[in-house]
Amino acid sequence: MKPLVNAFLCATLAWSATCAQAATSVLFIGNSFTYGHGSAVRYYRADTVRDLNREGQGGVPALFKSFTQQVGLDYDVAIETRGGTGIDWHINNRLGVITQQPWDIVVAHGFSTLDAKKPGNPEQLVQTAMQLAQALQAKNPKADLRLEATFPRADETYSPKGAWFGKSIADMAKDVRAGYDLAAKSSPVIKGVIPVGEAWVRAMDAGIADNNSLDGIDAGKLNLWTYDNYHASAAGYYLKALVVFGTLTLKDPRSLGGHECSGFELGLSVPQIKALEQVAYEQLIVSHPIKSAPLEILATETPQRCLSGR
């Protein structure tokens, strides 16, 4: 169906099936780092995404959905998660769910230390990422799989029992990224790595976020971790979602503006929202061909804007 005809039908006849076909489908596969454990993000706007496990979670996928709506993009967003797992769990237990339709884009990540039993070892991630890619390609020859290099953990870096104890938070982020880079080479279906962990480190280096939540938070800085120094805070998941948004849409995160709807709803201030958007932008221009467009969309009347986006 031609785009103009399709748009006319969606706008004037409200044919739900036709409109659904027009949307780009995106499936997020992950664990607590995707559904937003430890923050208000976990059940945020859960009605705007499809939770394939029927657990009523919104998480980072719902933030992504909100961002796309605000810039006028049409995405059908789904989430399939289970806490404390890697990609292997989803292949062994949810493959039928994952392959129930030919997704346009799939975003996936493994356990936060690459391997729960062997922290820092990428072998399992590489193998299971390849298996996931094969399953997706069998359903859709044009499958687009993106792997997400997860954010570093304060407890794994600053606690004596942590696998990265004695190293810097940036070291953990680099090691995780290296593991995902290896996994991305396992299949042509994998189109790239989303640099979430590097964006976190960039926020810390820029003085926007504190780099060690175990010794207290410096005045005027954001804590990207939540109470357990393991999972993210609302601000941490927000930064992650901005990086995912820019990666998948090639849109400048700054185009959302300081009065971005979801940041407002999650309690972030205008300066904080702008600072996190800037960090996401600076990280993305290193490896993604996004267009610079720092244009604020509907910069006023934030409450009304948020309500209308549902």
Q: What is the pLDDT of residues 144-177, one digit of tens each?
A: 999 999 999 999 999 999 999 999 999 999 999 9
- Residue 237 structural domain: 22-308
Asked if residue 141 is part of any domain, the answer here is yes
Asked if residue 225 is part of any domain, the answer here is yes
CATH number at residue 194: 3.40.50.1110
CA dihedral sign, ordered 71, 75, 78, 83: negative
Task: Between 208 and 2, name the one with better pLDDT.
Answer: 208
Asked if residue 195 is part of any domain, the answer here is yes
Q: What is the pLDDT of residues 251-280, one digit of tens each?
A: 999 999 999 999 999 999 999 999 999 999
> Is the model's pTM score more than 0.85?
yes
- Cβ neighbour number for residue 11 with a 10 Å cutoff: 9
pLDDT at site 289:
78
Q: What is the pLDDT of residues 47-96, one digit of tens each?
A: 999 999 999 999 999 999 999 999 999 999 999 999 999 999 999 999 99
pLDDT at site 44:
98
Q: Region 241-245: what's the mean pLDDT?
A: 98
Asked if residue 158 is part of any domain, the answer here is yes
Which residue type, as a one-letter code, is found at position 103? W
- Cβ neighbour number for residue 5 with a 10 Å cutoff: 10
Asked if residue 8 is part of any domain, the answer here is no
Q: In residues, how long is the chain? A: 310
Asked if residue 12 is part of any domain, the answer here is no
Number of structural domains found in the chain: 1
Q: Classify the phi-psi angles of 279: left when phi > 0, otherwise alpha if psi is within -120 to 50, otherwise beta.
A: alpha
For the chain, what is the HEC assignment? CCHHHHHHHHHHHCCHHHHHHHCEEEEEEECHHHHCCCCCCCCCCHHHCEECCCCCCCHHHHHHHHHHHHCCCCEEEEEEECCCCCHHHHHHHHHHHHCCCCCCEEEECCCCCCCCCCCCCCHHHHHHHHHHHHHHHHHCCCCEEEEECCCCCHHHHHCCCCCCCCCCHHHHHHHHHHHHHHHHCCCCCEEEEECHHHHHHHHHHCCCECCCHHHCCCCCCECCECCCCCCECHHHHHHHHHHHHHHHHCECHHHHCCCCHHHHHCCCCHHHHHHHHHHHHHHHHHHCCCECCCCCCCCCCHHHHHHHCC
Task: Between 175 and 294, name the one with better pLDDT.
Answer: 175
Asked if residue 169 is part of any domain, the answer here is yes
pLDDT at site 294:
57
CA distance 54 to 13: 31
Confidence of residue 133 (pLDDT cuts 50, 70, 90): very high
